[in-house]
Amino acid sequence: MSVSRRQFLKSAAAVSIGFAGLHRHLAWGAPALKNSFGPLVPDPGGILDLPEGFSYRVLARAGELMDDSLRLPGAADGMAAFPGPEGRVVLVCNHELSPGSKEVGAFGDDNENLGKLPKEDLYDWGQGQMPSLGGTTNIVYNAQTGAVERKFLSLAGTVRNCAGGPTPWHSWISCEETTQRVEGPIEKDHGYNFEVPATAEIRRAAPVPLKAMGRFSHEAIAVDPRSGIVYQTEDTGDSLIYRYIPDAPGKLIAGRLQALAVIDHPGLDTRNWDEVLVPPGEPLAVRWVDIEDVESPNNDLRIQGFEGKGCARFARGEGMWYGREAIYFACTSGGRKKKGQIFRYQPSPHEGTADESKAPGTLELFVEPNDGDLVDNADNLTVSPFGDLIVCEDGSGENNLVGVTPAGQIYRFGHNRMNNSEFAGATFSPDGQVLFVNIQHPGTTLAIYGPWDQRRSDG
């Protein structure tokens, strides 16, 4: 961390905010930077700086031998925590690996352990020569002892499993951030979502692509438990925001894919790169339009939606989470300085029904700091039990865990002292007492403990 950055973070800071109920003329104003838990304390272990009173434990490291005799893959990314049997917590964690990756894969340096899995357990076996190395692992954590009791591969043969999201029926939707097609040893098209049970028993999910959810460069999803509708981000510089209405609640194999458009603003560019078209704090009524040819081989769903249907355009949609009866999502390169934006979508009380137009859902730019000293490229995020967002940075230099209060105040909660890798997969335990997070490279999963109920707002 540079001296100038430290000095900046100790002073009052300019931060763009947007939140329903705040004065709109303050949306680009300069409230003081609040550190809700106090200043960070340098970690003598050289891994993670946290506020006083907080501590962490390393739960998993890439390359470790798992309980299924495979290696824990590297590039840990999106993650969620689920209640397990007898008070256990089950973490389902993505691994953002591609065929031929030089990072640690589940099958060993030369895929020498590939034969330990039946071919049908992998979505793309790569003709046995170049298997797709992405997928998920499940980690079974004992909340009473803080120990990991089991680790195993739970989805195999997919590509660049970046983020995803939990479902109310205790499964994880793992998203492929790619549109790779059949070529050479690659046997199947990619760019799909896959469902992984949050099980504590060693087994792998059936690698069934959820094709009706669309083929594009997926990033994350969030499910509104009230409607069962699934919202999706897309990681491209000209992305759309999608929603998926399943034909049957909780069954994602069939349904209708739609994309977000702003009423009275067709083709709205929310990125604010060249012109500020979307100021923070102003709710925009939206409509949802059907997307056809959802499995298009041309990676053009976003073009279809923007140019042909007037959908809104976003700057690299990434992390997404449901909380506080809304959907929050990050756009990593949005804003005038391309340092990131966080939006909030408030669903209609009639979301997904014929009465939706009577009270449309609203989109709001919640936060756009335009300063990397505040937030440097927001990526994965979660909604904490106490209402704040916890945001993972994926910036060009040092990276942090950043908190954002419901009033739009930004504070630093954690600092990666180990290296310059991004944080990923922030998620709280079901009881709200533990924050789990990944340092993506080389692949380290941490549990963070502390006085969450004593959040301070006095900076």
Instruction: Using the predicted structure, report yes or no on whether residue 18 has a pLDDT greater than 50.
Output: no
- Whether 376 is in a domain gets the answer yes
- Report the chain's mean pLDDT, rounded to a whole number: 91
Q: What is the mean pLDDT of residues 20-46?
A: 61
DSSP structure class, residue 432 = S
> Going along 198-307, which residue ranges are E strands?
218-223, 230-234, 242-248, 251-262, 284-290
| More confident: 404 or 6 | 404
Lowest mean pLDDT, pick from 28-42, 156-170, 197-211, 220-234: 28-42
- Whether 175 is in a domain gets the answer no
195, containing H or E segment: strand 193-197
Judge contact between 14 and 30, C-beta under 8 A.
yes
Instruction: Using the predicted structure, report yes or no on whether residue 29 has a pLDDT greater than 90.
Output: no
pLDDT, residue 82, reads: 98
Q: What is the mean pLDDT of residues 443-448?
A: 98
Instruction: Using the predicted structure, report yes or no on whether residue 393 has a pLDDT greater than 70.
Output: yes
pLDDT band at 1 (very low <50, low <70, confident <90, very high): very low
In the block, which residue shows the tokens 């908190």?
403
Residue 452 zone, left/alpha/beta (φ > 0; ψ -120 to 50; rest): alpha
pLDDT, residue 14, reads: 30
- Whether 276 is in a domain gets the answer no
Burial class (CB in 10 A: 0-12, 13-18, 19+), 295: middle
Q: pLDDT per residue over 276-333, tens digit each?
A: 999 999 999 999 999 999 999 999 999 999 999 999 999 999 999 999 999 999 999 9
Q: pLDDT per residue over 54-79, tens digit each?
A: 999 999 999 999 999 999 999 999 99
Q: Count the domains in the chain.
A: 1
Taking the C-alpha atoms of residue 201 and residue 297, their distance in angstroms, rounded to an integer, is 36
Q: What is the mean pLDDT of residues 130-156?
A: 97
Instruction: Using the predicted structure, report yes or no on whether residue 40 has a pLDDT greater than 90.
Output: yes
pLDDT band at 9 (very low <50, low <70, confident <90, very high): very low
- Listed residue (162, 167, 154, 228) closest to 191, CA to CA: 162
DSSP reduced 3-state for 10: helix
- Whether 50 is in a domain gets the answer yes
Q: Rg (Cα) of the chain, in Å, rounded?
A: 21
- Whether 224 is in a domain gets the answer no
- Whether 111 is in a domain gets the answer no
- Those residues whose C-beta lies under 8 Å from the C-beta of residue 407, and which sit 6 or more positions away, are 17, 19, 22
Let me know the angle formed at the C-alpha of 321 by 319 and 324, rounded to the nearest 5 degrees.
145
DSSP structure class, residue 200 = S
- Those residues whose C-beta lies under 8 Å from the C-beta of residue 122, and which sit 6 or more positions away, are 131, 132, 156, 157, 207
DSSP structure class, residue 33 = P
DSSP reduced 3-state for 254: strand
pLDDT, residue 36, reads: 76
pLDDT, residue 454, reads: 76
Instruction: Using the predicted structure, report yes or no on whether residue 417 has a pLDDT greater than 70.
Output: yes
Judge contact between 220 and 78, C-beta under 8 A.
yes
Judge contact between 427 and 81, C-beta under 8 A.
yes
Beta bridge partners of 342: 330, 367
Instruction: Using the predicted structure, report yes or no on whether residue 174 has a pLDDT greater than 80.
Output: yes
Percent of the chain with pLDDT over 90: 90
**Peptide bond preceding 442 in cis form (omega within 30 of 0):** yes
- Listed residue (378, 373, 370, 374) closest to 343, CA to CA: 378
Instruction: Using the predicted structure, report yes or no on whether residue 26 has a pLDDT greater than 60.
Output: no
- Whether 49 is in a domain gets the answer yes
pLDDT, residue 171, reads: 98
pLDDT, residue 453, reads: 86
Q: What is the mean pLDDT of residues 253-275?
A: 97
Taking the C-alpha atoms of residue 37 and residue 456, their distance in angstroms, rounded to an integer, is 5
pLDDT, residue 459, reads: 36
pLDDT, residue 33, reads: 57
Concatenated DSSP letters for 47-73?
Answer: SEEEETT-EEEEEEETT-B-TTSSBPP
Taking the C-alpha atoms of residue 186 and residue 132, their distance in angstroms, rounded to an integer, is 8
- Whether 85 is in a domain gets the answer no
Taking the C-alpha atoms of residue 350 and residue 358, their distance in angstroms, rounded to an integer, is 8
pLDDT, residue 34, reads: 58
**Residue 414 structural domain:** 1-60+371-459
